[in-house]
Amino acid sequence: MASKLNVYPEYPPRVRVEWLIAISRVLIAGGALIAVAMTAQGRADNWVLTYTLGWYLIYSLLLVGLVWTPVRFARGWDLAQHAFDLAAFSLFMLFAESPESPFFVYFIFLVIVGALRWEVQGAIWSAVVTIAVYAAVSAYAVIVLRLPSFALHTFVIRAVYLVVVGALLAYLSAYQNQFQREINRVVSWPRKLPREPRDLAGEIVTQSAEILEAPRVLLVWEEPDEGDVNLAWGSGGEISWATEPEATYGSFVVPGYEHKSLQAADVTDDNGRVIHWVNGSFRRRYGRPINPALQARFGMRAVQSWSLDGELVHGRLFVLDKPRMRIDDLIVGEVVARLAVSRLDSTYLLRHLNQAAAFEERLRVARDLHDSLLQTIAGTALQLVAARRLLDRDPTSARVRLEEVQNQLEHGELEMRSFIRRLRPAVAPEAAVPKLGLRERLEELRRRVDRQWEVNVRLHLDAGSDRWPEALAEDVYRIVQEGVLNAAKHADASVIAVDFATTADSVRVQISDDGCGFPFHGKYNLWTLNEMNQGPWTLKERVAALRGDLTLQTADTGTELLITLPLAPVAS
């Protein structure tokens, strides 16, 4: 599979590597300077080495300052430093006048730096070049400087040390490189969440195949609340998809492996070894771990698998036909599986939230239609009945009633136009439609109830009502309309009083009447009415939707409704 490492974020960041190297260089230079200075004791040769180390320490401190807040690293920066360090360490060994000098440890530091900067190739080439330079320094010390202290066995041992250190660092760099690739691939998982489960399944299969370096990936999960099983499989190219009844497979793995990660070289072997990860440790069992029907359909043999246990989604992720399986892949796969199931959960949760929002919107539309169109039709029907009765004995009064019906229908038409306009998305502004304020609408309601039901409605609005938000004023009007019309139609009331009070953070609406009251008597809040499964239904729905509170006190002598609404919109 082609690597996409070039599009991944740099990890570890290069500046962090250069910090580590620069600070380590200061420590070893400072330590060597102190050790040599303490042992110089007036010897000129040691003082030369001391001065050289002093300048190298200054160079090291300057590099720390340069890498502390770099804008960017120049091309060849790391290679130039590497070559300079190699030359400096060679001089230290020469000035120490002994191939057996303790400055040999600096060569090991150089191999470590090569591994940090260039990984496997850096460790190998740094070890090769260091051995060559060490041999050249030793030869120069024997042939040119004619130092008698050269020992062949020491040279061989130190050369072997460099070989071993280079090989060890190359191996560790290869392991680190593999870990880095896995981390980079997980980090590079797309952030945007597809809206459709099918698109998300294709993304999960593709990303899992890349992160886990798998020839084939199979994703199976149960559809929440549907009773079906979804299957998606592929390797990053063409993704296949199928939906089957839940009873097709039952459990995807045999009992005992339901919530475990597992790995098996041959799932068709009745005595095959199965390694599984549970409670932070690896365990071993023998047998066939996969559901036979699922194993046969996809021709499974070498398998790694992880359980998907989300809030809404349950299933498994399978890696198939991987030629080289490591048990530590099970731990990396745990991260992939959790990321996959969280994204599946999010997709289905988003769908449920959209459905809930649509349901809530339908309820709101139903309440608005009930409080506007239905109430208008009911009032119009009463006016028409009264007009028909008056046609023979009092045509003038009947004509007045019919004019009221006409006015009421025109008013209802305006309300329905306003309601439909609110349902439409924002478009270019239309011709302005006259809109009455809250006081005018309540006054019109008062006159209409007085004409239709001969009920005296008394309104008292405080000065704060003029500063209510438009949406809140609309909701208050619908609540008052429902409460007043309920009292007029069902309570046989003669007087209905509506009082408003505005506080710093809420609006209080009190609706009281002298009617016959509800079939039940007493004082109840919104929660109690819901527990009793009692009305008033539309008022309860509106108050609950606005995060308000409602108190109902009813008796044979009348009913009092006290409704409190937050002045500012409450976040959902």
CATH code for position 525: 3.30.565.10
Higher pLDDT residue, 228 or 397?
A: 228
Q: What is the C-alpha to C-alpha distance for residues 470 and 461, in angstroms, rounded to an integer?
A: 16
Which CATH number covers residue 314?
3.30.450.40
Do 147 and 204 reside in the same domain of the chain?
Answer: no
Q: What is the C-alpha to C-alpha distance for residues 13 and 30, in angstroms, rounded to an integer?
A: 26
332 pLDDT higher than 50? yes
Measured in whole angstroms, the distance separating CA 321 from the mean position of its chain's CA atoms is 32
220 pLDDT higher than 70? yes
Higher pLDDT residue, 419 or 132?
A: 132
Give me the mean pLDDT over the 94-119 stretch.
73
Measured in whole angstroms, the distance separating CA 10 from the mean position of its chain's CA atoms is 23
Do 162 and 277 reside in the same domain of the chain?
Answer: no
- 401 part of a folded domain: no
Identify the band that residue 374 occupies on the pLDDT scale cut at 50, 70 and 90. low
pLDDT value for 458: 93
Identify the band that residue 357 occupies on the pLDDT scale cut at 50, 70 and 90. low
Closest by CA position to 565, among listed 547, 553, 551, 540: 547
Do 40 and 141 reside in the same domain of the chain?
Answer: yes
279 pLDDT higher than 80? no
Do 182 and 230 reside in the same domain of the chain?
Answer: no
pTM of the full predicted structure?
0.54
pLDDT value for 393: 78
Do 261 and 137 reside in the same domain of the chain?
Answer: no
Identify the band that residue 5 occupies on the pLDDT scale cut at 50, 70 and 90. very low
Residues 532, 520 contacting (CB under 8 angstroms): yes
Q: Flag the least confident range among 365-369, 397-401, 554-558.
A: 365-369
Which pair of structure tokens corresponds to residue 83? 């070559």
Closest by CA position to 130, among listed 164, 153, 171, 96: 164
Higher pLDDT residue, 356 or 202?
A: 202
334 Cβ contact list (under 8 Å, min separation 6): 261, 277, 306
Closest by CA position to 441, among listed 403, 402, 464, 414: 414
Do 27 and 72 reside in the same domain of the chain?
Answer: yes
Direct distance between the N- and C-terminal alpha carbons of the chain, in angstroms, rounded to an integer: 47
| 3-class SS of residue 212 | coil
Identify the band that residue 92 occupies on the pLDDT scale cut at 50, 70 and 90. confident
Do 226 and 141 reside in the same domain of the chain?
Answer: no
- 568 part of a folded domain: yes
Do 142 and 12 reside in the same domain of the chain?
Answer: yes
- 43 part of a folded domain: yes
Give me the mean pLDDT over the 245-273 stretch.
88
What is the total count of domains within the chain?
Answer: 3
Domain that includes residue 245, residue range: 197-350
6 pLDDT higher than 50? no
Domain limit, last residue, from 282, 316, 350 = 350
- 368 part of a folded domain: no
- 391 part of a folded domain: no
- 355 part of a folded domain: no
Closest by CA position to 310, among listed 200, 214, 181: 200
**Number of other CB atoms surrounding residue 524 within 10 Å:** 19
- 450 part of a folded domain: no
Give me the mean pLDDT over the 354-374 stretch.
68
Do 518 and 561 reside in the same domain of the chain?
Answer: yes
Each residue's pLDDT tens digit, 453-473: 788 999 998 887 878 888 888
Do 171 and 299 reside in the same domain of the chain?
Answer: no
**Crossing angle of helices 438-453/375-390, nearest 10°?**
40
- 40 part of a folded domain: yes
Do 163 and 300 reside in the same domain of the chain?
Answer: no
Do 261 and 320 reside in the same domain of the chain?
Answer: yes
Q: What is the C-alpha to C-alpha distance for residues 571 and 100, in angstroms, rounded to an integer?
A: 76
Domain limit, last residue, from 316, 334, 350 = 350
Average pLDDT, the chain: 80
pLDDT value for 52: 80
Higher pLDDT residue, 261 or 10?
A: 261
Residues 432, 421 contacting (CB under 8 angstroms): no
Identify the band that residue 558 occupies on the pLDDT scale cut at 50, 70 and 90. very high
Domain limit, last residue, from 350, 366, 394 = 350
